[in-house]
Amino acid sequence: MIKLIVGLGNPGKEYAFTRHNVGWWVLDKIAHKFNEEFSKEKFKGIVAEIPGKAGKVTLLKPLTYMNRSGESVIEAVKFYKLKPEEILVISDDLDMPVGKVRMRLKGKHGGHRGLMSIEKHLGTDKFPRLKIGIGRPARKEEVVNYVLQPFTGEQLTVIEQAVEKAADWASETINGKPIEAKSASF
């Protein structure tokens, strides 16, 4: 059973609507579905607690910035004495087209520094993940600027549908449904 859902992103108003923060967008949708708010600072992040079918599920937005997300996650893991399979991590993915959503039981970081940091701190890549495609810029050297920019008008409509689907899938785990590999595109 999932006991911790982590949405990856960066703190600060300047990052709120960027491609790199879609993990936080999903957590906001989940909290809204369950009428909860991110009201506590804990584990180098902000948390909301959702009553789940098998007990409380913690939603965590690390405040450590993307590249150090593992520092926040490991604090929560140690506090709750969690196994990697009890954590669901939600992140953006450059290698998937805008609007594609994919859930897996484990995986590789694919160069994503937030996932790298979590893998380093957990000592494994065997934790469930939910990825949302943000597409890739035309030139490789533009990646840093690309992930820290907002979606374009056309992309925003698609990404909002993808975020809603990701929130639905993550919410199912709160209600006791086991994680299963699946994907959808918008």
Q: What pLDDT does 52 receive?
A: 86
Task: Per residue of the chain (186 residues), give pLDDT as tens.
Answer: 999 999 999 999 999 999 999 999 999 999 999 999 999 999 999 999 999 887 899 999 999 999 999 999 999 999 999 999 999 999 999 999 999 999 999 988 888 999 999 999 999 999 999 999 999 988 877 888 899 999 988 899 999 999 999 999 999 999 999 999 999 999
Q: What pLDDT does 8 receive?
A: 98
Give the integer Cα–Cα distance in Å for 84 and 76: 11
Q: What pLDDT does 185 receive?
A: 95
Q: What pLDDT does 114 receive?
A: 96
Nearest Cα to 77, choosing from 180, 5, 177?
Answer: 5
Q: What pLDDT does 170 receive?
A: 97
Alpha helices in the chain (DSSP H): 22-33, 69-80, 113-122, 143-147, 153-174
Residues comprising the binding site?
A: 15, 65, 67
Phi-psi bin for 12: left (phi > 0), alpha (psi -120 to 50), beta?
A: left
Give ∠ CA 12-184-175 in degrees, rounded to 5.
Answer: 75
pTM, full prediction: 0.96
Give the integer Cα–Cα distance in Å for 97 and 79: 36
Q: What pLDDT does 28 receive?
A: 98
CA atoms within 13 A on the CB side of 118: 33
Domains of the chain: 4-184 (3.40.50.1470)
Burial tier of 112 (Cβ tally within 10 Å: 0-12, 13-18, 19+): buried
Q: What pLDDT does 140 receive?
A: 75
Nearest Cα to 174, choosing from 49, 20, 75, 17?
Answer: 49
Give the integer Cα–Cα distance in Å for 132 and 103: 9
Active-site residue list: 20
Residues comprising the binding site for tRNA?
A: 15, 65, 67
